[in-house]
Each structure stands twice: as C-alpha cells, then as structure tokens.
C-alpha cells in the first residue's frame, strides 16, 4: 500500500517551488545592477561608464514600469529599490569627486578617500529620501528607523571595537607606526562610518524587506549576502581573494541577520565599519591585507 505524502512536506515543496522564479529574477537583477557598476567605477573606460551609468537607470526604470503595468505588485518594492540604487550610481559618477576637487584633495590620500565616501553616502541618502516620496518607499521599509536600538548598538559597538582592535594589532604587525595611524585616525573613522552606512543601506537595507515576501527572511538574507560578496570579488587590496570573498559572505550573513532582528541598520553599519578598519589601513599604506 502506497502511503500519501505528508501534507507538511507537500506544502514545503510547494513553497520552495514558488520561491525559485523570484530568486532567479532578483539574483539576475542584483548582479546586473552591482557588477557592471563596480567595474565602471574602478577602471572602466569612458564609454563603458556612460553605457553603465546611463543604461542602468533606464533599464530598471523600464522594468519597474513593466512590473506596474503587468500588476506584478509583489515585485514592485524590489524594483523600486533597483531604480533608486541605479540613479544613485549615476549621480555618484557625475558628482562624487566634486567635494574633493573643490577642497584640492588627493583622491587617493586619507582626506580625499574619506570625503569621497561621505559624498557617496550623502548622495545615496538623498536619492532614497527624494525618490522614496515618488516611489512610496518609506524609511521603515529600508531599516532607517529606531528599531531595537539598544540591541543594535550593543552588538554593533562590540563588533566595531573587536574589529578595530584586531586592525590595530595587524597594522603594527605590518610595520605601520603608531604615529602614522594616529594621523590617519580622523580620516579612517570618517571613511569607515560613512562606508558602513553606505554599503549596509545600498546592499542590504534597500532590498531585504523587499525580497522577504517572495523569498522568506532567511533566503532574502542569503541572496543579499551572496550579491554583497560577489560585488567584492574584483577588489585588489587583499592577498587571498577567495578567502576574502568567503569571509565577506559570512560577515554579510551576520549583518543581514542583525538588521532583520533589530529592525534597523545601525548595528550592522557599526559592525561593518569596524570590519572596514583593517581594509582602509591596508589601502592607505599600500599593503594588501
């Protein structure tokens, strides 16, 4: 006698099957958004930059219109975030080196890198605020809220402190003097705090809650973490790229989980800032970490 399949197993398999199409769609769109932009910002030629930073907003705006037209409203929140990030990339490409140029800063020096990163974060926040009104993206949906503030700050500050201490120990191991580190400290702190906020908002906060209705919270976190890790696969400031990408993925899962549990991005941004400390020290000193 053949026993009927367990109803719970049937339901689980059905949920998994329903999540595959949106997972593939979001994965493809996320890689299309972040990968060309990474190479265009780093060392892309002029025409590649033009095609990327003008083409991406046009493409994702068209896809967002298509989603609305076909009444695929479950996809609309995610595509509104793709539009926001692609337009932010365009403005960063056009504007983000202006503050440094106005101040006469070396773009590769500590002040120049810090000012550029602050400019990037400001542009992204401005685009979220302005387009959020037009696309009906409220701050709560992108984790720009109080949330469980005490828990977020406690974990975030602990993570920041632990990673910063590790960075200082490694910096001395690399032969970087305390005096040099002290001179860099204001710019390092400015850079890492701005970058922590910038990347947590751009890679995670804008997408986690938009993916969750179709993927569930765990899979949404895995997807954003994977895209974040792959987005760092072309960096040149590390000696072992494979290990770096693997560690980046693990950290991304932790930061995403923390964001989901606290309901805000502050803890993740602080922890992220601490993890960036060693990287920026290595970049400024010209030593691969």
Residues 6+ apart with CB under 8 A from 225: 249, 252, 253, 256
| Longest CA pairwise span in the chain (Å) | 82
| pLDDT of the residue at 171 | 92
Residue-wise DSSP of 59-116: HHHHHHHHHHHTT-TTTHHHHHHHHHHHHHHHHHHHHTTHHHHHHT--TTSHHHHHHH
Q: Which two tokens mark 242?
A: 């494979």
Sign of CA dihedral 153, 121, 43, 85: positive
| pLDDT of the residue at 234 | 79
| pLDDT of the residue at 3 | 46
Q: Which two tokens mark 276?
A: 């960036």
Q: Whole-angstrom Cα distance, residue 210 to residue 220?
A: 9
Task: Assess if residue 223 is contained within a domain.
Answer: yes
Task: Assess if residue 1 is contained within a domain.
Answer: no
Q: Which two tokens mark 224?
A: 């954003």
Task: Assess if residue 2 is contained within a domain.
Answer: no
User: Tens-of-pLDDT digits for all 289 residues of the chain?
Assistant: 444 556 656 556 677 788 999 999 999 999 999 999 999 988 768 899 999 999 999 999 999 999 999 989 999 999 999 999 999 999 999 987 788 888 888 888 999 999 999 999 999 999 999 998 888 888 999 999 999 999 999 999 999 999 999 999 999 888 888 999 999 999 999 999 999 999 999 999 999 999 999 999 999 999 999 999 999 887 777 888 899 999 999 999 999 999 999 999 999 999 999 999 999 999 988 766 7
| pLDDT of the residue at 137 | 86
Task: Assess if residue 141 is contained within a domain.
Answer: yes
Range of the domain at 92: 7-285
Q: 273 with 192: CB under 8 angstroms? A: yes
Task: Assess if residue 36 is contained within a domain.
Answer: yes
Task: Assess if residue 145 is contained within a domain.
Answer: yes
| pLDDT of the residue at 240 | 84
- Nearest CA among 143, 192, 186, 137 for reference residue 164: 192
> What domain count does the chain have?
1
């Amino acid at each position: 006698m053949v026993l009927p399949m367990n109803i719970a197993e049937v339901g689980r398999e059905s949920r998994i099957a329903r999540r595959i199409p949106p997972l593939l769609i979001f994965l493809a769109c996320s890689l299309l958004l972040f990968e060309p932009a990474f190479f265009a910002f780093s060392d892309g030629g002029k025409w590649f930059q033009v095609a990327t930073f003008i083409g991406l907003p046009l493409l994702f705006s068209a896809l967002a219109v298509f989603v609305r037209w076909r009444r695929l409203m479950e996809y609309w929140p995610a595509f509104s975030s793709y539009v926001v990030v692609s337009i932010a990339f365009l403005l960063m490409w056009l504007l983000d080196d202006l503050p440094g140029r106005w101040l006469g800063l070396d773009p590769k020096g500590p002040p120049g890198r810090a000012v550029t990163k602050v400019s990037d974060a400001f542009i992204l926040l401005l685009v979220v605020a302005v387009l959020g009104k037009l696309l009906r993206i409220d701050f709560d949906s992108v984790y720009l809220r109080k949330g469980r503030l005490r828990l977020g700050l406690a974990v975030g500050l602990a993570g920041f402190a632990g990673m910063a201490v590790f960075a200082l120990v490694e910096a001395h191991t690399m032969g970087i003097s305390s005096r040099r580190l002290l001179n860099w400290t204001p710019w390092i702190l400015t850079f890492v705090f701005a970058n922590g906020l910038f990347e947590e908002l751009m890679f995670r906060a804008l997408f986690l809650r938009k993916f969750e209705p179709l993927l569930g919270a765990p899979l949404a976190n895995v997807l954003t973490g994977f895209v974040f890790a792959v987005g760092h696969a072309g960096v040149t400031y590390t000696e072992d790229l494979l290990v770096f990408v693997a560690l980046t993925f693990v950290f991304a899962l932790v930061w995403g989980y923390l964001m989901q549990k606290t309901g805000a991005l502050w803890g993740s941004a602080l922890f992220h800032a601490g993890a960036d400390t060693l990287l920026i020290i290595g970049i400024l000193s010209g030593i691969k970490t």
